[in-house]
Structure 1
């Protein structure tokens, strides 16, 4: 039988690919964003600064940015090493599309059942190598999972072919000759798996766009079904479940992030589900799939290893991203 032996939750922020000198460049986007989600409501930047003051200005120095960038890089290296030690045969990668391939629709939960995915230019360097690569997926496992979730009351979308990445053409003014995967997946392939992922199944959760977002409770239930389905799969393989995204962004909320980390470490599903959905909007919504990973790993008895938590700011009012790096490995815990 298949066995879940590893879980991971990793951010995929573009800031992780920027030099510290470039971190403040995205501030203009925050200044002009009329809907900055923070604590259950939206704010304009002037409203946010009036509410929070300029409390984070002290963290905008080049020295602070350099130190935090170094911590993030070191944490990613530890995460990649932890993944390699786990000796994974098959992976389930949980992520989302951010209008990269689905500009006009938002399926709530989709599983990619195709044979391969593509990565490479013009995807940004933090997400891809400098040449076109093709990675093998696992259509057999994908078809099995689709049936398993349908049998448990999930209405699933079967994504048979990876659509063109229209974001590349629209935002970067470049078009690839192949369907580049969304950044949530390419980051894991490139930064964690060293451009050599095992056969895997990409799962797309619509975390960003109302009204078809799965709730925190639904993402927890998804982890339940995923665990049972994998454990019942007759192939003798070692499986990893990896969540790509999170923590709080694009308004960084360190207090909220620390509370989430505590709940994740203690398998506190009731506490996570009790948080109003308005706290899980915009990029912060990616935290929901962290709960899927913890639910899939809880039966192993694994304790969460928090490699680092690094709040990274780019404006005085605290916009930016909370970078949380964590994994679950039951075998290491037993040694």
Structure 2
């Protein structure tokens, strides 16, 4: 499955517009292959999104997001997985002095809890089991296919957490999945960290497609008879919402259209929108099953007249038994 992890999903709709102040102060808003200042963007888009900023609109869209998240959690429970692979990214939460392109966590457990925000964590410290044996096996499988990965065997402190707790809270991409999708009870799992955000070590779309292929082959060769769930955390377009772009991407995801996805200008896969690459790795890993994409909902959520905000896409591929 692929699920957004936006903090907006934990905000009351009354508070969505507060995020717009951050957007107005961002001098590098990515949209259509380049960066814009907020005034440039608002002028370019003719402030067309002002009608969608009413509390009524925000409340309706928040309700749709909540319903979609609930259905995603239900789909996860129905899948009854034994092991999970979670693809996410770090946003300079743990990697502050270096930026690995792709890392796999090979440690035994992860930590979540306060002071992580409530949308991402329960109100108490929890630890969740990882799968070091499978993680190490995957590192070796990718090495054989000319992927030079980072072996992350201990989580660095999460510097977003203030005050810093005694335990290393995982980045929000992972904590969201544990809390919102898995009900704070994940199975043994492997966190995969892809640097979608920060040049120059971003893997290209072509590389992410290849990552999904090798992941699929490695899992099929894994000797244990287990049900594996593969989850991408992030996306779609943000921090400038581009509904036209999102719908074009979702159509290609539904059609397993790798040529189309790879043909998109890499400058479109920047900032938060880059998390689409994680969706594509999941899609490639599931292709051989013939699973059809189930689009639970797509909800564009705006917070300024210039259309800043996030495109919330909720989707899963359910392979037949």
TM (normalized to structure 2)? 0.99
Equivalent runs, 1:139-218 vs 2, <5 Å: 139-169=132-162, 174-218=163-207
* Counterpart pick for 1:92 among 75, 85, 107: 85
* Counterpart pick for 2:110 among 75, 97, 117: 117
1:166, 1:63 → 2: CA distance?
36
How many residues were matched structurally?
321
Deviations 1:153-180 (A, max 9, x none): 00100000011001213xxxx2111000
1:265 and 2:254 are equivalent in the alignment: yes
The Cα of 1:104 is off from its aligned counterpart by 1.6
Match of 1:72 in 2: 65
TM (normalized to structure 1)? 0.95
SS in 2 for 1:330: coil
1:134, 1:269 → 2: CA distance?
37
Match of 1:136 in 2: 129
The Cα of 1:53 is off from its aligned counterpart by 1.0
1:286, 1:83 → 2: CA distance?
20
* Counterpart pick for 2:281 among 289, 292, 299: 292
Match of 2:34 in 1: 41
SS in 2 for 1:179: coil
The Cα of 1:122 is off from its aligned counterpart by 0.2
Match of 2:294 in 1: 305
Deviations 1:108-136 (A, max 9, x none): 00000000000000000000000000000
* Counterpart pick for 2:228 among 236, 239, 256: 239
SS in 1 for 2:161: helix
SS in 1 for 2:192: strand
Deviations 1:38-80 (A, max 9, x none): 0100000000011001100000000000000000000000000
In structure 2, stretches of 5+ residues that fail to align are none
Aligned CA RMSD, in angstroms, stands at 0.6
1:112, 1:163 → 2: CA distance?
11
1:107, 1:221 → 2: CA distance?
18
2:153, 2:199 → 1: CA distance?
24
The Cα of 1:103 is off from its aligned counterpart by 1.1
Match of 1:15 in 2: 8
